[in-house]
């Protein structure tokens, strides 16, 4: 199988670059090789490569900046995925794309199903939702995998931010009323690769029959406050921490340009039923991620 991976240098892209090699020949494209805001280049590159599978790990993920960089966020998160899906259809290739829990407004008190009403609160969430709609309209054999709170030890993730803050502050104030599922980029990449490998013989028909939106995030859920506490407890260089107190605070005390959903836990049963796979518990993954 020939796989075109777009967005190879992001948290998830970097992990996919490695895990996908067990599934097929991977052609990895970063921003330098393919700027996804150039739709002609997206089409031209994919047509030249003739892949059987296109995976899009590129995205505009600066949630607060997206409020003012609306055009750029729209081009990357909404327009480009639609063009990729359309090109995949023309090539008879499978298209896999990632979306976000921020398509929801977070007013639920039980985990979100794929069929629940979307109502993004931010421009980032809106641009990702439009991306989903464009894929549904233009695509054929596609999967849209909505995930949440993605982290790796390489990226500018919440995990690295908490570790950084812990070196410079005696007190950390962390929001307690945002609840979701932390998702280790490596676990998400491995599960994506396994789902492909398990259907390798006839990937195009297998995905066409199962096409649609799926939730796929770390199992379990937590608040940012509890997550921060677990990050500090798992820190292998704990002696470098200055922090003595972690204070729980409501989101209202941390006004940000973009509003975040308060409760955006994703119910991942549809993916588990369809592909027989689920991501490990978030605490187990965090422990593994931080041992590296």
Ligand X SMILES: NC(=O)c1ccc[n+]([C@@H]2O[C@H](COP(=O)([O-])OP(=O)(O)OC[C@H]3O[C@@H](n4cnc5c(N)ncnc54)[C@H](OP(=O)(O)O)[C@@H]3O)[C@@H](O)[C@H]2O)c1
* Residue in the structure block whose two tokens are 């939730």: 215
Among 17, 19, 28, 58, indicate the residue that binds ligand X (CB under 6 A): 58
Catalytic site residue 124? yes
Piece of the chain touching ligand X by CB under 6 A; list 43-51, 143-151, 201-209, 242-250: 143-151
The distance of closest approach from Cβ of residue 245 to ligand X in the complex, given in angstroms and rounded to an integer, is 26
Among 37, 108, 219, 234, indicate the residue that binds ligand X (CB under 6 A): 37
* Residue in the structure block whose two tokens are 């490998």: 197
Residue 149 contacts ligand X per CB under 6 A: yes
The distance of closest approach from Cβ of residue 141 to ligand X in the complex, given in angstroms and rounded to an integer, is 19
Q: Rank residues 76 and 175 by Cβ distance to ligand X and give the closer one.
A: 76
Q: How far apart are the first and last CA of the chain?
A: 30
Among 13, 82, 125, 261, indicate the residue that binds ligand X (CB under 6 A): 13
- Report whether 54 contacts 96 (CB < 8 A): yes
Question: Two tokens at 128?
Answer: 């990702």
- Whole-angstrom distance, CA of residue 222 vs CA of residue 173: 16
What does the longest C-alpha to C-alpha distance in the chain come to?
Answer: 57
114 phi, psi to nearest 5 deg: -60, -30
Residue 271 contacts ligand X per CB under 6 A: no
* Residue in the structure block whose two tokens are 């030890």: 153
Contacts of 277 (CB under 8 A, 6+ apart): 191, 194, 195, 198, 271
Residue 227 contacts ligand X per CB under 6 A: no
The count of chain residues that interact with ligand X, using the rule CB under 6 A, is: 26
Residue 191 contacts ligand X per CB under 6 A: no
The distance of closest approach from Cβ of residue 59 to ligand X in the complex, given in angstroms and rounded to an integer, is 3
Helix (H) or strand (E) holding 180: strand 179-180
Q: Rank residues 241 and 270 by Cβ distance to ligand X and give the closer one.
A: 270
Helix (H) or strand (E) holding 105: none
Among 54, 76, 243, 286, indicate the residue that binds ligand X (CB under 6 A): 76
Residue 64 contacts ligand X per CB under 6 A: no
Q: Rank residues 101 and 190 by Cβ distance to ligand X and give the closer one.
A: 101
Catalytic residue among 60, 98, 102, 124: 124
- Whole-angstrom distance, CA of residue 64 vs CA of residue 258: 5
Residue 216 contacts ligand X per CB under 6 A: no
* Residue in the structure block whose two tokens are 């090789």: 33
Closest chain position to ligand X (CB): 10
Instruction: Report CA 154 to chain centroid distance, whole Å.
Output: 15
Residue 264 contacts ligand X per CB under 6 A: no
Helix (H) or strand (E) holding 5: strand 2-6
Give me the active site residues, please.
124
Residues at the contact surface with ligand X, assessed by CB under 6 A: 7, 9-13, 31, 35-37, 57-61, 76, 98, 100-101, 128, 147-150, 155, 185
């Amino acid at each position: 199988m020939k796989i075109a991976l777009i967005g190879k240098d992001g948290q998830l892209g970097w992990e996919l670059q490695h895990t996908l090699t067990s599934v097929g020949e991977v052609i990895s494209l970063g921003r330098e090789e393919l700027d996804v805001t150039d739709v002609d280049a997206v089409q031209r590159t994919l047509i030249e490569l003739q892949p059987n599978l296109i995976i899009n790990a590129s995205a505009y993920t600066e949630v607060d900046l997206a409020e003012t960089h609306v055009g750029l966020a729209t081009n990357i998160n909404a327009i480009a995925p639609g063009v990729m899906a359309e090109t995949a259809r023309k090539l008879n290739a499978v298209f896999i794309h990632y979306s976000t829990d921020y398509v929801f407004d977070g007013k639920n008190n039980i985990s979100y199903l794929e069929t629940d009403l979307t109502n993004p609160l931010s421009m980032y969430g809106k641009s990702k939702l439009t991306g989903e709609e464009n894929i549904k309209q233009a695509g054929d054999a596609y999967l849209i995998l909505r995930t949440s709170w993605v982290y790796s030890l390489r990226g500018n993730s919440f995990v690295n931010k908490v570790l950084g803050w812990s070196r410079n502050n005696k007190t950390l104030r962390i929001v307690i009323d945002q609840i979701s599922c932390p998702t280790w980029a490596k676990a998400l990449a491995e599960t994506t690769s396994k789902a492909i490998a398990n259907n390798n013989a006839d990937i195009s028909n297998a995905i066409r029959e199962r096409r649609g939106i799926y939730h796929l995030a770390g199992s379990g859920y937590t608040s940012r406050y509890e997550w921060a506490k677990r990050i500090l407890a798992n820190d292998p260089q704990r002696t470098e921490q200055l922090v003595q107190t972690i204070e729980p605070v409501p989101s209202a005390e941390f006004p940000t340009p973009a509003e975040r959903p308060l409760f955006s836990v994703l119910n991942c049963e549809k993916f588990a039923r369809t592909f027989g796979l689920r991501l490990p518990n978030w605490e187990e993954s965090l422990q593994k991620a931080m041992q590296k």
